[in-house]
Each structure stands twice: as C-alpha cells, then as structure tokens.
Amino acid sequence: MSLFQCQHCGCCENTALTNHGWPYKGWEKHFDWTGIENRKGMQLCSACSPTNYSDGKSCSKSGRWHEQFERVYLPQGEFFTNKTGNLEHRETGSEDFRQFRIEP
C-alpha cells in the first residue's frame, strides 16, 4: 500500500482504495471508459475511476470518494510516490503533503 497523486484530479489517494492505483497495462480493458476515455492508463483515485466494468457490472470502489480519509487536492504533477510509499513534494522533498493543498 502506498500513496499516490491521482493523475486526473490531483488528489492524494491510497493504492489499496482504488482499482486504478497502479499503471497496469491491459488492466484497462476490464472497465467501461465511456465518457472518460482520456483517463485510460492513468493512476486514478476512486472518485475518478470508471463506475462500471466492461461487462456492465458496477465497481463498488469506483466513481465516488471512499471517505476512508479526507480528499486532499494537490497541484498536479508536483508529487511522486517515494521509496517508503509516501507522497513526496518534488521541489521541497516534504512528505507533509497537506501543507500544499489547493481548492479543487
């Protein structure tokens, strides 16, 4: 389990709480991307993930925020997952991502 920055909305997400926390190749085909085709292949938070599988069944984890922790939006592209699995600010090296929060 580690933290990552959603490549669509920029919020901080945990890989354990979304189907799209890893940039899997081929994984995308199991989901229905209608209307959000441009997000295919991105690392996505639960809220930005497709709501349905390709067979029409709904994904329990997707399409809404999971409410397991507060959704904190961050400046897009300024963070990466470091070796310890935390979100690190590229410029300052800080893991205290909450100090960089922005309004969505």
Considering CB under 5 A, how many residues would be counted as binding Zn ion?
5
Q: Is 39 in the site for Zn ion (CB under 5 A)?
A: no
What sign for the dihedral angle of Cα 20, 68, 59, 7?
negative
Nearer to Zn ion, 53 or 66 (CB): 66
Cα separation, 102 vs 96, whole angstroms: 14
Q: How far apart are CA 39 and CA 55, in angstroms?
A: 19
According to DSSP, the residues that pair with 73 across neighbouring strands are 11
* Rounded CA separation 5/14 (Å): 9
- Told to check if 48 binds Zn ion by CB under 5 A, we report yes
Selected from 45, 59, 74, 87, the binder of Zn ion by CB under 5 A is 45
Site for Zn ion in 54-93 (CB under 5 A): none
Task: For residue 8, state whether it binds Zn ion (rule: CB under 5 A).
Answer: yes
Least CB distance to Zn ion at residue 44 (A): 6
The contact set with Zn ion (CB under 5 A) reads: 6, 8-9, 45, 48
